[in-house]
Amino acid sequence: MRIVFLFVALLISFPSVVSAWGFHDAIGNGSPIICVTPKQSAMGGVWSLPSSEAASIFLNPAELSMLDGTSIKVSTAIINWHSFVSGELDYDHFSSGNLGTVTAAAGTEISEAVSIGAGISRVSHFGFSGINNILEEYGQSGYKIYAIDLLDSRGSLWEANTGISLVLNDWLTAGVSGGLRFGSGSYTLRHDIVDPIAPDDTTEVDWEESDFCVHAGLLMPFSFGTFGISGTNKTNRYDSRVAFGFQRDFSILSGSTMGVEVDFRSIEKKNPAVSGKMFIYLAEMITNVRSTYSVGFIRASDYKMAALCLGTGTCIDFGKMDLDLSISWMSRSTNGFAFPEPYISNIDDSGTYYSAGLSWDL
């Protein structure tokens, strides 16, 4: 019990963050959505460890083997993100984004050793709107606005996957899933010069994406705990990813689980993004109600500073149906690039994931 109280105290005392919800993500590979399911979000966005049941085809398909019969999982999330950027001299920029996302998946047990699943989920986001005031110095201490840059970006990627898991022996289960990673987006970058005589400049880009994606994973249950490994491939506008995790049950609090995970994004790069999570999934303190708490860090590959994130959630058991609710909050203060390059700015931003979902065992 002392370990549980210590873990909760850490959650209360830690600040938080996420990778780059900014200009580069808006026109590049987007920002990955961590809440494929509410439980996964509450666990800090884990990829390799059990968190998603039928929706594991988007994370670690080996988890399909844990289905008992047939299960349907549907979840949705609202993501609210705000960012303020200030530079050394003449840079001022505010951006905000609001996103609704959804996951729907179904899975079933074919035999004691084989389970299958299928589903669709929104997996990344390209939304961004920003204003940059470019100032011009005049006199000894005066400034005036010379031009205004406006950026508006919209888009997302989805995955439609099917998957299978195989229980190879008592200590090893393998899974693989694949399908289509698809979507579309656009961005407009407008450079407006205040002088009405000077010409303005507008850049518009529209894109569509349709690539094959694959997820593969392993679960290795031992008497002292369970190891998980999972990964996915890179496509044109989505980063590759691989994750390693371990979880074990509490002997002092029966039915509770504690785990850790580390994952790497853009693994083909010399300096990949790195994130880590630590979570606790508590036994029922109230009848038919379980709670989850998590803390983690993320260091994006394009930034020098790391930051932390917090998550919490609850699962209410209604018999054949479970209701999952979660909130994940993250903020960042870092040094990085923002539009228009080559400015380097101090970036302060924060975001909240509100997610809810239903699991229905048929």
Question: Are 102 and 214 a contacting pair, CB within 8 Å?
Answer: no
How much is the pLDDT for 339? 56
Within 10 Å of residue 129's Cβ, how many Cβ atoms?
A: 16
Q: Which residue has the higher pLDDT, 1 or 106?
A: 106
How much is the pLDDT for 23? 62
Nearest to 312 by CA among 275, 283, 354, 274: 354
Q: Which of 10-24, 142-156, 187-201, 202-216 has the lowest average pLDDT?
A: 10-24
* Domain ranges (residues) in the chain: 2-361
Confidence class of residue 41 from pLDDT cuts 50, 70 and 90?
Answer: confident
- Nearest-5° Cα angle at 163, 158 to 168: 150
Average pLDDT over residues 219-225: 94
Cis peptide before 342 (omega within 30 of 0): yes
pLDDT for 306 beyond 50: yes
pLDDT for 38 beyond 90: no
**Spatial distance between the Cα atoms of 339 and 153, rounded to a whole number of angstroms:** 12
Within 10 Å of residue 305's Cβ, how many Cβ atoms?
A: 13
- Nearest-5° Cα angle at 125, 335 to 212: 120
- The domain 2-361 is placed in CATH, from the list 2.40.30.10, 2.60.120.260, 3.90.245.10, 2.40.160.60, at 2.40.160.60
Percentage of residues in the chain having pLDDT higher than 70: 77
* 89-146 residue pLDDT tens: 444 444 555 567 789 999 999 999 999 999 999 998 887 777 777 777 776 666 777 7
